Amino acid sequence: MDTDINGIINLRKSAEYTSHDCVALIRKMFGVKKAGHTGTLDPMAEGVLPICLGKATRIIEYMDNDLKEYRCTMKMGIETDTQDVWGKILCEYPLKDITERSIRDAVLSFRGSIDQIPPKYSALKVKGKRLYEYAREGLEVEIKSRRINIEDIIIDDIIIEEDEEGKAQKAEVTLTVTCSKGTYIRTLCHDIGRKLGCGAAMSGLTRTVSGIFCIEDAVSLEELENMSKKERMAKLLPMDHPLSGLLVIWLDDKRAEDFVNGRAISNFTAPENIQDENKKENPKKHFRVYSEKTFLGIAGIEDNELRPEKVLCKKT
């Protein structure tokens, strides 16, 4: 195992792999002990799945609140137990009253801050047990709603097949959704269907953006497998790559030595521009810390004291 490999792979996950599968394969491919992903994708979903290797696993928590963007399709007229087309069909509904206008009105009503009840077939834990485990055992458990934010929702396409009388027989809608952490896109599709009164189930999902990572720059498992070690390493992004939203603090050699040894730096006054930005955009007071060109880790400032939170470099 290589203990010196630290960084992030912007992986393009394929359908039918679980997120856990992808982490295990990347860990083996790079020969590292530690690896973790930054946000689960369902097995049938594809797209951006950043995987952190080595010390980079320690910054996952700072990426949790990054916005995500998805492109999804939903089939109108059905409801399933998993809220996608791969589940068991529970109900089928006629589409006779469905129009482009009614679909647009329903979809756009979900913009903004909304309450969402996570699906019972999900990895969310309740009382120490994952929801899908309760569901597979046929057990009922209370699932509380959560506040999420649909930053934007764009209707890319609406396909309605009509009969000779002009009544809808089949309908499929394609959406691009930008949303906060914790949003279940299949539940969004389900809820849109409920609002329309005809049901809906997600029929396709691709994550196109996760924070700073986008699908155009992502690499697949198959591509990585066919690369030389040198080519593979060239795809490894530095640990500070996804932390561009955190403001930067530079330390001289003496203070850098204190930082990497986990010592707080007293009488530390942040530059005025950092203090001003801190009030508006950085309420948790997290900062990227550097010495010359070396990324040392993440710190907080409190009571004029720079306090190491994550030391990611042991040498200055």
Catalytic residue annotation: 42
**DSSP alpha helix (H) spans, 56-138:** 100-108, 131-136
DSSP letters spanning 53-77 = EGGGGGGGGGTTT--EEEEEEEEET
- Who's near 190: CB < 8 A, 6+ residues apart? 79, 83, 119, 199, 200, 201, 202
Place of tokens 């009388």: 165
Asked if residues 51 and 22 have their Cβ atoms less than 8 Å apart, the reply is yes
- Who's near 8: CB < 8 A, 6+ residues apart? 50, 51, 52, 53, 56, 236, 237, 238, 239, 241, 242
Tokens of 78: 């059905």
Q: How many CB atoms lie under 10 A from the CB of residue 269?
A: 10
